[in-house]
Structure 1
Amino acid sequence: MKFASIRVVTADVQALKGFYAALTGVEPTDLAPGFSEIRLEGCTLAISSEDIINKVNGGAIVPRSNRSLMLELEVDDVQAIQTRVTDSALAEIVQPPTVMPWGNTSMLLRDPDGAIVNIFSRPKR
């Protein structure tokens, strides 16, 4: 089994595509109207419209309703991302860079749909 992607279902594909493209620096690949992928090292972030889910999956997913999932993006420099996010007013910073008990430096953002995004770096060894 291979972990392939995380899919976020949204009522506003353009807003999420723009947010994640600006955050990651990776341009989305549009595969169909209302369905795009941001292909990152290690995993793909798929973004699809609520309309597609309602057509093909019977409305099995409800946008903006998840409070138990955290998207995590590993970076080399959390402070640099904080500066970019702050300077561009890209997202609400929920938690400023903080050193976790296991050594990672972690900053939490909120995406346009309200999901939490953890931007983190591992300690240098």
Structure 2
Amino acid sequence: MNFTSVRIITKEIQPLVRFYEKVLGSTAIQYTEDFAELRTPLATLAIASTRTLALFGGDDIARPAENRSVIIEFRIDDVDSTYQALTGFLGNSLVQKPVTMPWGNRSLLFKDPDGNLVNFFTPVTDDAKQRAGTI
């Protein structure tokens, strides 16, 4: 089994697509007005409108902008330079400036337009780099 993607359900797809294109520095593939993907080498971030819920069994199976338990994480090359590049863009969505966590990752935490937590991190200790397979 391979983990391949996370899908965010939203009422308004375009603001999330534009946000993630900016912070990830990539272009989304928009298959329909209700579904887009941003692909990375290891996994895909999918963004879908609430209208797609009917395809999975009904409108009540997910609620947009109510996530309070998941953090969407991306390993990046340099958290500090990314933070500097995004500072003006993130504005009030910034939750925590870059800080080194006890497990060895340097982490930048912010929220997307729907309030989902996003963590950009860079392994900085030898142990964290080894876990990430970067040394």
So what's the TM-score if we normalise by structure 2?
0.86
In 2 relative to 1, CA 63–31 (structure 1 residues): closer, same or farther, beyond 3 Å? same
Identify the residue that residue 11 of structure 2 maps to in structure 1.
11
> Using the alignment, how far apart are the partners of 2:120 and 2:29 within structure 1?
22
Q: Deviations over 1:6-56 (max 9, x none)?
A: 000001100000000000111000112210000012100000001121x21
> Using the alignment, how far apart are the partners of 1:91 and 1:16 within structure 2?
16
In terms of fraction of residues, the more helix-rich structure is 2
Q: CA deviation at 1:90?
A: 6.0
> Using the alignment, how far apart are the partners of 1:102 and 1:13 within structure 2?
34
* Larger-gyration structure (1/2): 2
Identify the residue that residue 65 of structure 1 maps to in structure 2.
66
Identify the residue that residue 100 of structure 1 maps to in structure 2.
101
Identify the residue that residue 48 of structure 1 maps to in structure 2.
48
Matched, 1:29 2:36: no
RMSD between superposed Cα atoms in Å: 1.3
User: 1:101 corresponds to which letter in structure 2?
Assistant: P
> Using the alignment, how far apart are the partners of 2:92 and 2:20 within structure 1?
10
Unmatched segments (≥5 aa) in structure 1? none
> Using the alignment, how far apart are the partners of 1:88 and 1:65 within structure 2?
23
So what's the TM-score if we normalise by structure 1?
0.93
Map residues 74-89 of structure 1 onto 2, 5 A cutoff. 74-89=75-90
